[in-house]
């Protein structure tokens, strides 16, 4: 049985002098390079990455402390250079990208002239600017090298404090508990209060202790190493390791000649083009036009699947295909054997409606805003999340009023999506 089929790719043609530069070595960078070759591009492709590795499966880092880089690689360096004929440049930090001149300048002073450039630099983990933040053993998780440092603590009988309420915080807490650390303390709720409380209770059974609604105001230390995290109520949490999971800042400081949004992301149109320069593309803040939203959405969604989709779309448009990005956002997480999936996009919902049993971790949550069901989160309810995506894509998702009237529930939505799949 064949698990997958590689799409035939064009090879580099020395007669084609067109140069496309890809700044970044993550999911968007890889799918962009692959798509360029799959769509028939025969010019030069340059891929710059600060890391020593070829693109790898980054989401696994927070889920598996025992992961090895050779198992994480999405493509090997040899595949990139030989099969995709990409000029892969690892351990290469880009100093700046000049949008108007279309040049990429590396930290060692080398300059590359390009016809088109994709900015796929991802984000830089946020750091807390509070007393003691310069102590050792206050870490972030962004790269495989970060994972190797954290994995040492995961194998020891030590106290770990995790700051942040995102999925990465939850996943890290589960990973540390699974690997023997004494305690972990993610602080805030996710996916709404009721689901967050249930997740907190579930993880509490696995040696994870929560301190919700609190902020860290100071780190305590001894001999240059962190020993505790002080909360705004005066409580001090003992800590041998602190992991910051408080979001990321778009890595766009290197881009010169284009104005960034307040959050430092680059504004692009539905074709992934920076508004002022048609030859510069970015995987960042996106004007996202979708029938299911019935409006134009400008957002920065930091999910793996979204990054891969945007890399493909950017590649097609660099070749003049005029393909808009209109995919439905989707992400998932795994917490000690429980898979949570989220489809759609909803900020500050007016209401969260839950079907199923939260206690048994078998539920579907509907996120409602402006009488629209804008997102669905599920646990133990497969394939409800996938069905939601199909319904959104076909603009068949019921309004919240129709849902309240009993015209359709989640189970019925799954059946409708399964029928529509074959039409």
What CATH number corresponds to the domain at position 309? 3.50.50.60
Any domain includes 11: no
In this prediction, residues 307-330 reach a mean pLDDT of 91
Of 61-65, 154-158, 237-241, 352-356, least confident by mean pLDDT is 154-158
- Copy the structure tokens of residue 303: 């999910």
Residue 380, pLDDT score:
87
Any domain includes 10: no
Domain boundary among 188, 220, 244: 244
One domain for residues 115 and 256: yes
User: Is the separation of the CB atoms in 367 and 344 below 8 Å?
Assistant: yes
Burial of 68 (0-12, 13-18, 19+ CB in 10 A): exposed
One domain for residues 154 and 240: yes
One domain for residues 115 and 58: yes
One domain for residues 204 and 257: no
pLDDT of 154 strictly over 80: no
Any domain includes 374: yes
One domain for residues 236 and 146: yes
Domain count of the fold of the chain: 3
Identify the three-state secondary structure at position 408. coil
Q: Is the peptide bond before 383 cis (omega within 30 degrees of 0)?
A: yes
DSSP state of 348: S
One domain for residues 293 and 389: no
In this prediction, residues 220-239 reach a mean pLDDT of 94
Any domain includes 14: no
For the chain, how many residues are written?
Answer: 423
**Ranked by mean pLDDT, which of 128-137, 154-163, 261-270, 390-399 comes out on top?**
128-137
Binned at pLDDT 50, 70 and 90, residue 423 comes out as: low
One domain for residues 111 and 254: yes
One domain for residues 144 and 239: yes
One domain for residues 368 and 391: yes
Nearest 5 degrees, angle CA 261-CA 262-CA 264?
65
Binned at pLDDT 50, 70 and 90, residue 174 comes out as: confident
Alpha-carbon span 8 to 46, nearest angstrom: 20
Range of the domain at 160: 138-244
One domain for residues 118 and 262: yes
Any domain includes 329: no
Any domain includes 268: yes
Residue reference for tokens 């492709």: 45
**Nearest one of 120, 122, 123 to 23, comparing CA atoms:** 120
Residue 1, pLDDT score:
42
One domain for residues 296 and 222: no
pLDDT of 289 strictly over 50: no
Residue 204, pLDDT score:
77
One domain for residues 365 and 231: no
């Amino acid at each position: 049985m064949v698990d997958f089929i590689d799409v035939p790719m064009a090879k580099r043609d020395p007669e084609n002098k067109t140069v496309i530069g890809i700044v970044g070595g993550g999911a968007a960078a890889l799918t962009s390079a692959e798509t360029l070759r799959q769509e028939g591009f025969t010019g030069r492709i340059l891929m710059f990455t600060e890391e020593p590795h070829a693109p790898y499966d980054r989401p696994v880092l927070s889920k598996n402390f025992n992961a090895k880089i050779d198992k994480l690689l999405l493509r090997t360096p040899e595949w990139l250079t030989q099969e995709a004929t990409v000029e892969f440049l690892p351990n290469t930090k880009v100093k700046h990208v000049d949008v108007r001149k279309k040049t990429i300048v590396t930290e060692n002073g080398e300059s590359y002239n390009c016809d088109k450039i994709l900015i796929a630099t991802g984000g830089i983990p946020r750091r807390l600017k509070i007393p003691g933040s310069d102590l050792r053993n206050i870490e972030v998780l962004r790269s495989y090298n970060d994972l190797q440092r954290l994995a040492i603590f995961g194998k020891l009988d030590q106290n770990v404090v995790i700051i942040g309420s995102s999925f990465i915080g939850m996943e890290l807490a589960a990973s540390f508990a699974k690997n023997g650390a004494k305690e972990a303390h993610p602080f805030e709720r996710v996916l709404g209060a009721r689901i967050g409380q249930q997740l907190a209770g579930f993880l509490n059974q696995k040696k994870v202790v929560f301190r919700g609604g609190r902020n860290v105001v100071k780190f305590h230390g001894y001999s240059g190493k962190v020993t505790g995290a002080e909360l705004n109520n005066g409580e001090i949490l003992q800590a041998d390791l602190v992991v910051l999971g408080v979001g990321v800042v778009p890595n766009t400081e290197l881009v010169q000649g284009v104005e960034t949004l307040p959050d430092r992301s680059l504004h692009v149109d539905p074709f992934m083009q920076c508004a002022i320069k048609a030859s510069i593309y970015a995987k960042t803040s996106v004007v996202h036009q979708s029938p299911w939203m019935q409006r134009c959405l400008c957002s920065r969604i930091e999910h793996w699947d979204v990054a891969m989709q945007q890399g493909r779309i950017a590649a097609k448009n660099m070749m003049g295909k005029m393909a808009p990005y209109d995919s439905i956002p989707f992400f998932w997480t795994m917490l000690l054997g429980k898979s949570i999936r989220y489809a759609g996009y909803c900020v500050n919902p007016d209401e969260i409606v839950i079907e199923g049993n939260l206690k048994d971790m078998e539920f579907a949550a509907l996120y409602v805003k402006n009488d629209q069901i804008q997102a669905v989160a599920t646990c133990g309810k497969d394939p409800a999340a996938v069905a939601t995506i199909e319904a959104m894509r076909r603009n068949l998702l019921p309004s919240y009023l129709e849902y309240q009237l009993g015209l359709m529930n989640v189970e019925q939505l799954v059946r409708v999506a399964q029928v529509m799949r074959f039409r």
